[in-house]
Structure 1
Amino acid sequence: MQEAKLSQKDMMDLVMDVFDQQLPFNRFLGLNVHRDNFEKATITLNWQDSLMGNPYQKILHGGVTAAILDTVGGLMAMLYVAKDLDNLTAQEFNQRVGRIGTIDMRVDYLRPGKGEQFTATAQMIRKGNKVAVCRMELHNEQNTHIAFGTATYML
């Protein structure tokens, strides 16, 4: 029996499941992946004392900031790959997106990571056959821009 081909919605569901349920580091950080569409990716993070980088100012650790930006950028890259694919089985799709990885990332820290909830968003700047470039932003619940990043992902 031949394995069923996936719809774009099925592929998006698979990508969302990987980022939301299958990555232990994302669960450790408490990242919440939100279903947007193929054009925008969003991840939220609630404040936890265990993620504090400066106990005097009670701010988010810079490594956590970088991690959430990289994660939302990687999610965006995977969604864009899924957007361009069709007529694949789940195994073929998993093999295709399983090769995606960060090549390079730059983070600009604009303000201390103060807040109760943080939202990271990503948008595609350019996608080619072999690489994709994303721009990511991190804001708190008051919409204060904390950091932004630019990353290149191997497709």
Structure 2
Amino acid sequence: MLSEQQIKDWLIKVFSQLNFNQTIGLNITVCEQDKAEIRFVWDDKLMGNPIQKILHGGVTATALDTVGGILAIYSRLSRHTDLTEQTLAELTGKVGTIDLRTDYLRPGRGQEFIATAHLIRSGNKVCVCRMELHNELEEHIAYGTGTYLVG
């Protein structure tokens, strides 16, 4: 049986090994039962508009989807009391995005970006999260709603 900290450490390790997350520079900074947070710093390779020097819309949507997915996974895992690394892998492998809505509020300018997710509902099959993306100045760049298959 794994402790809560071991579950978080496992999830962070798996998340950190994904090449796509490494390319964007996503890092998990908060992983709780009802909240998750990831951060990444500006890099020119994330630029969607070179004239305005703003984030690509796909990077914004990716950050929102990723933080929502992390919360969906963790909220599902945290309800189990008898997890092993094998069951962690089995449960995590079943998670996928059903629906993602992204609303872009302003251009993605900044040096650091913080994506947060809050749990709306976590059931046995589906999890719904509300996500936001801000820059280091706390300017609200985008928000989204994600629905995730978790079982």
TM-score scaled by length of structure 1: 0.93
Distance (whole Å) between structure 1 residues aligned to residue 81 and residue 17 of structure 2: 23
Which of 35, 38, 55 lines up with 2:33 in the alignment? 38
Give, in angstroms, the shift of residue 76 of structure 1: 0.5
Q: Which residue number corresponds to residue 6 of structure 2?
A: 10
Q: Which residue number corresponds to residue 111 of structure 1?
A: 106
Distance (whole Å) between structure 2 residues aligned to residue 108 and residue 88 of structure 1: 36
RMSD after superposition: 1.0
Q: Which residue number corresponds to residue 121 of structure 2?
A: 126
Q: Which residue number corresponds to residue 151 of structure 1?
A: 146
Which of 69, 85, 88 lines up with 1:90 in the alignment? 85
Residues 127, 149 of structure 2: 8 Å contact kept: yes
What per-residue deviation string (whole Å, max 9, x for no partner) do you get for residues 53-97 of structure 1? 011111000000000110000000111012101112210121012
Distance (whole Å) between structure 2 residues aligned to residue 36 and residue 94 of structure 1: 17
Identify if the C-alpha distance between structure 1 residues 53 and 143 changes in structure 2 by more than 3 Å, giving closer, same or farther: same
Q: Which residue number corresponds to residue 50 of structure 2?
A: 55
User: Computing the radius of gyration over CA atoms, which structure comes out larger, 1 or 2?
Assistant: 1
SS in 2 for 1:143: coil
Identify if the C-alpha distance between structure 1 residues 65 and 116 changes in structure 2 by more than 3 Å, giving closer, same or farther: same
SS in 2 for 1:147: strand
Which one-letter code corresponds to 1:94 in the other structure?
A
TM-score scaled by length of structure 2: 0.95
Unaligned residue ranges in structure 1 (runs of 5+): none
Structure 1 consecutive aligned stretches of length 4 or more whose deviation exceeds 2 Å: 35-39
Unaligned residue ranges in structure 2 (runs of 5+): none
Which one-letter code corresponds to 1:111 in the other structure?
R
Which one-letter code corresponds to 1:136 in the other structure?
M
Q: Which residue number corresponds to residue 21 of structure 2?
A: 26
Distance (whole Å) between structure 2 residues aligned to residue 141 and residue 123 of structure 1: 19
Query: Percent identity, aligned pairs only?
Result: 54
